[in-house]
A = this chain, B = another copy of it.
Amino acid sequence: MSEPQRKTTSVGLEKKQLILKSAENEFDQYSYGGARMQRIADRAGLPKANVHYYFRSKSELYNAVLEDVVGLWNQTFKTLDANHDPRMVLSEFVRMKVEFTRLHPRATRIFTSEMLHGAPHLSEKLNDQMNRWTQNRASVIAQWVESKKIAPIDPYHLIFMIWASTQHFACSEFQIRSVYQKSKLTRKDFADQSASLTTMVLRICGLEP
């Protein structure tokens, strides 16, 4: 908290995190091209030059935000490797993905926005990470289909369906709030979606009683 020797570094890191958080909000609201360094500085309560001290350019700052986003995803989903019961693995995946979207709507939207525009800033490393994850999950599902543990279904389309449906609650939050005539999505709204989506996935896989 107050070690004179490391104070500089520690405060620097805190300030860097503050800027990253402000940038996340700005990029979420305006996309890369519409984001303004001045507004990011204002959100953080800092002079603009201070932002440029920690991040040389807008591009470098955006890349840092994007790495955080993908890092958050990896941190949450790396452990989901079970060769357990399909019913349990699928239910748990849906539950975690909905929860991730609820807790990190901005990260979810920034990643989608990056895809939407053709991923012009996504590094090959991050892209490969995401691809390997998808391919590994798809091969697990394919094995379940082959061994008749679940009903026949295209593994990629099943993954895309779960992915897209959960992202939707963050990416089209405005539309959903508008249809529901609510000013804010509640914890219950997400719990309901989690339950519905689990039911849908289990029925698709022929795993419902």
Listed in ascending order, the chain A residues whose CB lies under 8 Å from chain B are 28-35, 109, 112-113, 115-119, 127, 130-131, 134-135, 151, 153-154, 156-158, 160-161, 163-165, 167-169, 171-176, 178-180, 192-193, 196-197, 199-200, 203-204, 206
Contacts and interface: CB of A to CB of B under 8 A. Distances in A.
B116 A200 contact: no
Given A30-B117, A34-B34, A116-B112, A127 B178 contact: yes
A129 to B, nearest CB: 11
B115 A172 contact: yes
A130 to B, nearest CB: 7
Given A175-B130, A179-B135, A157 B200 contact: yes
Contacts of A174: 115, 118-119
State the number of copies, please: 2
A110 B170 CA distance: 16
A160 B154 CA distance: 20
Contacts of A109: 116
A168 B158 CA distance: 12
Nearest to A174: B119
Contacts of A158: 196, 200
B171 A156 contact: no
A117 B172 CA distance: 9
Contacts of A130: 175, 178
Nearest to A133: B179
A144 to B, nearest CB: 15
A15 B34 CA distance: 27
Given A131-B178, A160-B165, A172-B112, A154 B33 contact: no
